[in-house]
Amino acid sequence: MLSKLNLDKVFQDFSTQKILIIGDVMIDNYLWGKVKRISPEAPVPVISDLIEEKRLGGASNVALNIKAMGAIPILCSVIGNDSKGKDFLKLLKEENLSDMGIILDNARITTQKTRIISNNQHLLRVDEEIDTEISQVSEDKLISFIREVINKKSVQSVLFQDYDKGVITQRLIEEIVKMANAAKIPVLVDPKKRNFLSYKKVSLFKPNFKELKEGLKADVDKSDLKDVASLLEEFRKIQSIKTIMLTLSEHGIIVNYKNSYHHFTAEVRDITDVSGAGDTVISLAALCLGAKLNPLQTAALANLAGGQVCEKPGVVPVNKEQLLIEAKAYSV
């Protein structure tokens, strides 16, 4: 799929792009420590020698992946006007990411996911969040900013990164998709359950298998690729979606478009942590669509990138240089 591409030029072209990212942002907080004994109070491990590390998560991890590939992300979201919100803005600044599209809302808290990890093993996660929809005031501010960006036609793709935390609303989806389609800018979606059926007339829709089953209330087996592909084809036509790219974890990726499907097997890797792999896949897909790659070329690169980040603990962005090397080896 990649053999016909000048991969050096494609990767250089990525650096000329701007990608508009709309979605739920959060802080990924890590507590790294050592487990030396089991608690006498309950059969649970006791962790000590803790080191705390905060990273950008959710839609902001997509921004990090876009940046890691040399492109410019324009991040749009709503956070709380709270201490964690200040931490989030500080993390953006440290990563040289703009906060122009970040709306502060006094009625919300900033989402934080705290993961406790020992010896690269994920022991526990604690979520602090509000998942109700944003207020109309915040929604209006967000739509107004996005409209200004799209009207300038300075972005190559628009990406919805939906985590069901309330930033993405039905009205926001409808208005932004209409704007982007009028401007002939590709729209990509990484969906969750709440808005699954709300995304229509988009360029690329990328659920994982769990999201597909929940969103469509479908009883299908992941290993029955023909059955899965048939379900995708039906859904794609109903929603007027150009391409569906379904991630199947250890079974790879299925791409459905133009009444056909293609299956990409997962690369053999030493899997450490699958957190954030979906963010990486959709990020590469957005850049590939912006570079006018076809759906199969897009899926091949995205599949490689998603596998790469699973080899590292925690949520981390893709490594551009490593991905280029892997893509060249894959295309031989």
Q: Which of 29-38, 59-68, 302-311 has the lowest mean pLDDT?
A: 302-311
pLDDT at 74 over 90: yes
Q: For residue 270, what pLDDT band results from cuts at 50, 70 and 90?
A: low
Residue 38 is assigned to a structural domain of this protein: no
For 171, other C-beta atoms within 10 Å of its C-beta total 14
Whole-number pLDDT of residue 122:
86
Q: Which of 53-62, 70-79, 270-279 has the lowest mean pLDDT?
A: 270-279
- Residue 208 belongs to a domain: yes
Q: What is the pLDDT of residue 19?
A: 97
Average pLDDT over residues 272-290: 82
Specify the CATH number for the domain of residue 320.
Answer: 3.40.1190.20
Instruction: Report the C-alpha gap between 281 and 209 in whole angstroms.
Output: 14
Contact 32, 51 (CB under 8 A): yes
Number of compact structural domains in the chain: 1
> For residue 177, what pLDDT is reported?
98
138 found inside a domain: yes
Considering the domain boundaries, does residue 284 fall inside one?
yes
> Among residues of the chain, what percentage have pLDDT more than 90?
74
Q: What value does the mean pLDDT of the chain take? A: 91
pLDDT for 308 equals: 79
* Active-site residue, selected from the candidate residues 13, 24, 105, 279: 279
Helix 277-290, helix 59-68: angle, nearest 10: 50
Taking 70 as the threshold, does the pLDDT of residue 72 lie above it? yes
Q: Within a domain: residue 236?
A: yes
Strand 72-80 and strand 101-105: the pairing is parallel
Helices marked H in the chain — which ranges? Answer: 7-14, 59-68, 83-94, 136-151, 170-182, 209-216, 225-239, 277-290, 295-309, 320-331
Global pTM exceeds 0.95: no
- pLDDT higher than 60, residue 228: yes
Q: Tell me the mean pLDDT in the region 66-80.
A: 96
Average pLDDT value for residue range 94-98: 96
1 domain-assigned:
no
Q: Higher model confidence: residue 3 or residue 146?
A: 146
pLDDT for residue 172: 98
Mean pLDDT in residue range 291-305: 91
- Cβ partners under 8 Å of residue 140, min gap 6: none
Q: How far apart are CA 142 and CA 116, in angstroms?
A: 33
Catalytic, 24? Answer no
Spatial separation of the C-alpha atoms in residues 165 and 285, rounded to whole Å? 23
Q: Which of 113-122, 185-194, 219-228, 307-316 has the highest mean pLDDT?
A: 185-194
Question: Which of 37-46, 163-172, 315-324 comes out lowest in average pLDDT?
Answer: 315-324
What's the confidence (pLDDT) of residue 272? Answer: 53
Judged against a pLDDT cut of 80, whether residue 2 lies above it is answered with: no
Q: What pLDDT score does 271 carry? A: 52
Q: Residue 314 above 90 pLDDT?
A: no
Segment 120-163, tens digit of pLDDT: 788 999 999 999 999 999 999 999 999 999 998 889 999 999 99
Domain carrying residue 272: 7-25+57-104+133-331
Is the residue at 218 inside a domain? yes
Phi, psi at 279, each rounded to 5°: -60, -40
Average pLDDT over residues 64-68: 94
